[in-house]
Structure formats: C-alpha cells, structure tokens
A and B are shown apart, each in its own frame.
Chain A
Amino acid sequence: MKPTNTDPKRWPVVPAAVALAGIIVFIFATYGPPASSSGFVTTLKGFFLEVAPKYAETNPHYSALPGPGSWLMGFVIGMAAGGFAAGITGGRKVRDVPEIWVRRFGKSRIKRYATTFAGGFLILFGARLAGGCTLGLFMSGSIQMALSGLLFGAVIFATAMLSARIVYGKTNGRKQ
C-alpha cells in the first residue's frame, strides 16, 4: 500500500510532535498554567463586559475567567497569526468545503457551514462543562498525568470516531 499522504509540504509526524512539545514545555516554563485554546471565553467576557456589564460580573462562569488582555487572548490571536503565516508560506490551497464532505453531501456551502456551526457549538459547550478542550484538558492534562485529561481524551476520541462514521456513512472517507 502506498502512503495516503505523499504531500511533501506536510511535516512528518514525529518531528512535528517534537516541535509542538517544545512549544508546550516553553508555555509551562513561561506562562505557568497549562496552555488552553478556550480564549473564546475571554473574548466573550470582553463582549459582555461592554454590552451587559452586570451580567458579565455576576455570571459565575465569566467572573471566574480572565478577561481580554490576558495570556489566553494573546494565545488564540497568535494561533490565527501562526495559521496565517504557515498558510501563505505553505503553498497549499484551502477549501471552504473539504473534499471528503463534498463526496458525501455535495458542494453546498450552507450545509457545511451550518454543520461546522453546530459542531463548534457542541465542542465548546462540552469543553466548558468538562473543564477544558483538546489542548486545555486532554493534552495539558495528560502531560501532567492527570486522570481527568486521560479520561477526557479517551471519551472524545471514541465519540468523535463514532460521530465521524455516522456523518460520513457508507463512503467512510474513501474516494469512490
């Protein structure tokens, strides 16, 4: 069998994992608390502090979280900047609707955007309930050997594998 990914612009797995680990250890050494991508929350807190300050101050979720102007906010803005820099220098075309999705549901952008919106909603709702996301709870947690992170990782991988199977159905990602 030939490798599925012969794209020379994709970094190989092991060196990429070493590079990411270097960044994560740098974060542990400099920022202190483990990394997390739920900077969403800080932007929302900033929004509510503007339009409904009383709500933002009394809501237990917002009052427990750092506002804009925090490390978290910097991190997610940095993520977007890093994605941008890697994107423009990488020479790969991005698609608004992935190929695998087109094979199953067609080219409709509306369907794809509605699904990623709903998916994004569930991801963040679930992450806030569990206490963190892929990075904040699963990765950062497991790096500290936390049982919470390891359990969350097992649950999200198992559920996502099942969910993707239902979404992609019989095609199961294979090219026809």
Chain B
Amino acid sequence: MTDVLLGILSGAAFGFVIQRVGATDPEEMALGHLMQDPRIPQFMLLAVLFSAIGLFSLQAAGGGNTLILPLTFGAILVGGVLFGIGWGMAGYCPGTCWAAVGEGRMDAVFALIGGLAGTAAFAHLHAWLIPAIHAPTNVGQLTLADLFGTPLVGLIVEAIFLLAAVWLIGKLWRHGESGAM
C-alpha cells in the first residue's frame, strides 16, 4: 500500500510540473518538434541533466536503486521509430497524456485509448517479437560509466553532451530567446 501512495504522490507532483511547463499541451510539443519553440525539448534535456546529478549524489550517499535497461539495437531502433512517428502525430507521450486527460483534453483521452490498444497488440505479439527483434541484438546493460571507466567521468561526458544539445536547440530553434539558453 505504501508503494501505491508513494506512486500517487510522485505522479501528482510530476503531472503538476509538466502541466505548468506546458508539456501536456500538444501544441507546445508540436512546436518543439517543428523547431519553432525550444522550451519543451530543453526542459526535457535539462531535467535529465539535473536528475543525473541528483542520482549521482544519491548513490554517492549510498541510496537509490537503479535498473539499467539493455542496449538492444533492433528493438530500440524499431521501437523508437514507431514511437517517434506516433509522438509527432499526436503530440503526446505515454506519460503526458495521463496528465493531459486530467487537465481535461479530449484528444488525450483518445491517445490513451490508442495506447491501451497498442499495448494489448504488442503483448499479444510479445512471444514472437522479443525473440525475433529484441534478443538477438542485445549487447547488454551498458552505461557511459562502463564506457569511460568511472561514473564521475561518465557523468561529466553526459553533462557536456546534454548542455551542448540544450545550447544548440537554443541556437537552431526559431525563437531561441524564449528558451533556457
């Protein structure tokens, strides 16, 4: 029961923040994808950066459980392309559509129902797709920490990469002034 309450609390805070920044608005999401407004992509990348620093500190203090998903090229590429096509079409992610439903957006309700159908379809094909695409291209639970020897160096490399991406989005997206950088 504690788990459910912690989930509700975490979800409510999460939903509140993403609504306030505008990530539940498919218009803002589309403007981000169309390089017309840098705010949402910058927000996502900076949230990753700050969280990575936070998690690193948490682990240094001996806390936090992690779960590294394997780098499995076939599944990530095929799954990522399907995901990206849908994201560009709808302007919703699996998470933002829940908060957008709460906010009262009717098109998000349909994205959510479509998501349920997509999950059911995948679950039905799971026994066939996972051995076909996922398993053969699985190279393991690799991280930047493995690649660069230590977690700290991995974090520094990732931070440089993320900050460069945030800066570049500010430069290349149309109204750079409204973003973070």
Contact = CB atoms under 8 A, between A and B. Distances in A.
Contacts, number: 524
Contacts of B60: none
B28 to A, nearest CB: 8
A119 B71 contact: no
A14 B19 CA distance: 15
Interface in B26-84: 26-28, 30-31, 33-37, 39, 41-44, 46-55, 58, 63-73, 75-84
Contact of A164 (B30, B105, B116): B30
Contact of B21 (A11, A22, A26): A11
B76 A130 contact: yes
A60 B175 contact: no
A123 to B, nearest CB: 4
A124 B22 contact: no
A61 B119 CA distance: 10
Contact of B20 (A1, A16, A168): A16
Interface in B106-161: 106-108, 110-124, 126-127, 129-130, 133-134, 141-145, 147, 151, 154-155, 158
Contacts of B93: 37, 123, 133-135
A165 B99 CA distance: 25
Contacts of B55: 24-25, 28, 143-144
A168 B12 contact: no
B119 A119 contact: no
A9 B90 CA distance: 24
B122 A151 contact: no
Interface residues of B, number: 130
Main SS at interface, chain B: helix
B20 A60 contact: no
A9 B130 CA distance: 44
Interface residues of A, number: 128
Contacts of B92: 116, 119-120, 123
Interface string A150-171: 1110011111111111111000
Nearest to B151: A145
Among B7, B30, B178: residue with most chain A CB under 10 A: B7
A119 B21 CA distance: 22
A106 interface: no
Contacts of A99: 27
Given A5-B178, A99-B27, A144-B68, A86 B16 contact: yes
Interface of B: 3-22, 24-28, 30-31, 33-37, 39, 41-44, 46-55, 58, 63-73, 75-108, 110-124, 126-127, 129-130, 133-134, 141-145, 147, 151, 154-155, 158, 174-175, 177-180
Interface of A: 1-5, 9-14, 16-35, 37-41, 43-44, 59-62, 69-87, 90, 94-101, 109, 112-139, 141-152, 155-168, 172-174
